[in-house]
A and B are shown apart, each in its own frame.
Chain A
């Protein structure tokens, strides 16, 4: 149990375009979902926390107008990277949790390359 699906697993896009990443909890209802970014050889950096039906809470330094997060249901959250630039190239990982869960369940990650 506690499976989180993330798509796509990798994407290449042109500079200036937008990319949407989906995160789904397959067998549980996620009360909270988190979006992380990880650069090579660095740790996970929390970008934002989202609760179903509420606006996402962004960490300091993360541009909310650039990284749009939608958590429309208890099983789906999306991250849209708008007007992507090469410096946005990174590994984006979502995770989900629910009341009574121990720890987070992570999605498989999305490797974004902006050219």
Chain B
């Protein structure tokens, strides 16, 4: 079992709809979780992080964490063509504030105008 698993996609979502990206992890002791966006040919950029069970909202993005089920998700509301990218889930293997991140393989998201 991979440490961090994501559906590679591609995931196609109509413009204006909600895009839902999922990630599962194997290490039950993981403390914090991160979502990065990577445009083709570019390096990843941090979207948001979450460490408590439940939802965390930041603008159009909502991260959801369920430690009991070992999954973390990212919702993108009102999807825009500029959201088309690969989304990487990362799980912290170290202590919070001193992360050692393990990345999933990423989900490629395409927003259809």
Contact = CB atoms under 8 A, between A and B. Distances in A.
Per DSSP, chain A at the interface is loop
Contact of B44 (A44, A99, A100): A44
Interface of A: 6, 31-32, 42-44, 46, 49, 91, 93, 97, 99-109, 111
Interface stretch (B15-23, B55-63, B75-83, B93-101): B93-101
Contacts of A102: 32, 34, 49, 97, 99
Interface in B95-109: 97-101, 103-106
A42 B93 CA distance: 21
A107 B45 CA distance: 9
Contacts, number: 49
B90 interface: yes
Contacts of B46: 103-105
B43 interface: yes
Contacts of B43: 6, 93, 106-109
